[in-house]
Amino acid sequence: MYERDQLFIDGKWTAPESPDAAISVISPHSEQVIGHAAIAGPADVNRAVEAARAAFDSGPWPHMQPAERIEAVNRLAGIYKERRADMAALISAEIGAPISFAKMAQVRLPLTMLQAFCAFAGDYHWQQERPGLYGKNIRIVKQPVGVVAAVVPWNMPQFLTVTKVAPALLAGCSVVLKPAPESVLDAQLLAEIVAAADLPPGVVNVVPGGRDVGEQLVSHTGVDKVSFTGSTAAGREVARACAAGLKQASLELGGKSAAIVLDDADPAATAAGIQMASLANSGQVCNALSRILVPEDRKGAFVDALAAAMESMTVGDPSDPNTQIGPLVAQRQQERVRGYIESGRSEGARLVTGGAEMPDGLDTGWYVRPTLFADAHNDMRIAREEIFGPVLTVISYRDEDEALRIANDSEYGLAGSVFTSDVERGYDVAARVRSGTFGVNEGYIMDPAAPFGGVKNSGYGRELGMEGIDSYTVSQSISTAGP
């Protein structure tokens, strides 16, 4: 049982506005309460923003040399590394991520991101000179954008937190982090790590809570920028709030990414790549490949290979190192995904494997069996809406042009992939798909050096890479009169 009855605000642990109110975290596997955390009230959100505002307006952090901030974030990364086993176990317990995946993607990847951003900040052009058209040099200085509200969901909590907080800190911003209620425990552990890193007071603050906390935070007049990851519907509300306050915003939203399997691809290799890119974290990943486009004349071979790969996956207790598919994060999510499975069947898609029933040998937990539909059409709900679970939909096409038309026939544009034996052909396909990221013979990998983000209803703005630091800066232009 993990208990944290205080909030991390202004560099210290303090009592919340309502000490008797708390977030209860329930294990998706056992359906039992595994921890409690304090919940922020309106006064707590105000205190957190005021602390961040003071840290930015009158504190030392934004005026430090970049090298000093890099040293501080590197110090934080060192403490994070020491706590990575605790972090992985906590994330696995609270959201049901298989422990092997939690160690790799939920903890090792965020640590890599922390270290990588420090390296990027060392090479970043914080100041540069350029010739002006009037014969004088112009100095361009990258200044921190100000107080950042970082709002993250539950599915990849530390990764999504680090990709916002690390570049914001390195740019000289102060941050108010709002974690999701389902993953509040790992956010509190991160606050412990921040406290141990001895950053200046108010530079990082954490306000756990539900939608009301998020709404207050993103509309707060003391916030200069909002970085939000979540659903497209929620992203629209965030965008409206930011527009009303003329705040900068970065939105990383939903996806319905297509894997285009060309006629020269190998079925077994393709199935293995899609298995990793589509079903990691039980399919609860925004850039998961959930629409599988296969050539009509080879449809049977690809469907059979996908079914075999999915049926081979071990479903069960997320604490077991052999588990590949854990439970979904909450009962509402289980019910949502089961609803999509029933929708697919009622609309006429063929259920190849899986289904809405509990996996064999499991009586408790919010599980959904890895499910594959074939003979589907792109106008079905299972092909158009983000399911956020272990459900894949196979759609056949007659030629490459039709495959591209189907891939682009989506309101989303976050990611995509092509599988082919000809890499140059893969690059050509990638250039004709409208998405922010793309993979050739793999799902898009979250490389720290590459900007990540979407187009269309998948949002705007970029995280990771040098562009991830750009997102937390504003350019100040300075011209000088005189000789």
3-state secondary structure 414-473: CCEEEECCCHHHHHHHHHCCCCCCCEECCCCCCCCCCCECCEECCEECCECHHHHHHCCE
Residue 380 in any domain: the answer is: yes
Active-site pick, 286, 296, 347, 467: 286
> Average pLDDT in the 241-247 region?
97
Q: How far apart are CA 472 and CA 69, in angstroms?
A: 14
Tokens of 14: 């303090």
User: Is 182 a known active-site residue?
Assistant: no
Q: Which of 50, 94, 182, 252 is catalytic?
A: 252
pLDDT digits (tens, 9 = 90+) for 266-282: 999 999 999 999 999 99
Please report whether residue 27 resides in a domain: yes
Strand partners, 131: 137
Residue 162 and residue 200 in one domain: yes
Average pLDDT over residues 222-245: 98
Give the pLDDT mean for 137-163: 97
Q: How far apart are the first and last CA of the chain?
A: 69
What's the pLDDT band for 416 if we cut at 50, 70, 90?
Answer: very high
Check residue 134 and give its pLDDT: 85
Cα–Cα distance, 10 to 36 (Å, whole number): 22
Q: Judge if 221 and 281 occupy the same domain.
A: no
Q: What is the pLDDT of residue 133?
A: 87
- The Cα 247–Cα 102 span in angstroms is 34
pLDDT band of 261, cuts 50, 70, 90:
very high
Q: Using CA atoms, how far apart are residues 367 and 276, in angstroms rounded to an integer?
A: 18
Does the pLDDT at position 483 exceed 80?
A: no
301 located within any domain = yes
Q: Which helix (H) or strand (E) element contains residue 190?
A: helix 184-197
Q: Would the pLDDT of 188 be above 90?
A: yes
Q: What is the mean pLDDT of the chain?
A: 97
Query: What CATH number corresponds to the domain at position 210?
Result: 3.40.605.10
User: How confident is the model at residue 1, as a pLDDT?
Assistant: 84
Q: What is the mean pLDDT of residues 162-177?
A: 98
Q: What is the pLDDT of residue 253?
A: 97
Expressed as residue numbers, the domain containing 122 is 2-253+458-479
The DSSP secondary structure of 194-228, one letter per residue, reads HHHHTPPTTSEEE----HHHHHHHHT-TT--EEEE
Q: Are 37 and 4 spatial neighbours (Cβ–Cβ below 8 Å)? A: yes
Give the closest residue to 175 by CA, choosing from 77, 51, 5. 51
Could you read off the pLDDT of 295-328 as tens digits, one per residue? 999 999 999 999 999 999 999 999 999 999 999 9
Under the banding of pLDDT at 50, 70 and 90, the label for residue 135 is confident
| Dihedral angle sign, alpha carbons of residues 196, 197, 202, 206 | negative
- The verdict on 41 and 170 lying in the same domain is yes
pTM attached to this predicted model: 0.96
Examine residue 30 and state whether it is found in any structural domain, yes or no. yes
Query: In this structure, are 294 and 365 located in the same domain?
Result: yes
Looking at residue 137, what is its pLDDT? 87
| Residues 463-475, mean pLDDT to the nearest whole number | 97
On the question of pLDDT at 157 being above 90, the answer is yes
CATH number at residue 336: 3.40.309.10
**Does any domain span residue 445?**
no
Tell whether 110 and 234 lie within a shared domain.
yes
Checking DSSP bridges between strand 137-144 and strand 473-479, what pairing results, if any? antiparallel
Q: How far apart are CA 110 and CA 154, in angstroms?
A: 14
**Is 32 in contact with 94 (CB distance < 8 Å)?**
no
Residues 262 and 229 in one domain: no
**Cβ-contact 429, 421 below 8 angstroms:** no
The answer to whether residue 450 sits within a structural domain is no
Residue 451 within a domain: no
CA atoms within 13 A on the CB side of 331: 8
| 319 and 401 assigned to the same domain | yes
Nearest to 208 by CA among 151, 272, 156: 151
318/462 same-domain check = no
Residue 153 has what DSSP assignment? -
H or E element in which residue 237 lies: helix 232-244
User: Do strands 416-419 and 371-374 pair parallel, antiparallel, or not at all (unpaired)?
Assistant: unpaired
**pLDDT at residue 380 greater than cutoff 90:** yes
- Considering the domain architecture, whether residues 139 and 112 belong to the same structural domain is answered as yes
For residue 390, is pLDDT > 90? Answer: yes
Q: Give a yes or no: residue 232 inside a domain.
A: yes
Q: Are residues 190 and 294 in the same domain?
A: no
341 pLDDT higher than 70 = yes
Number of domains in the chain: 2
286 classed as catalytic: yes
Same-domain check for residues 244 and 272: no
Same domain assignment for residues 43 and 107:
yes
Confidence (pLDDT) at 481:
83
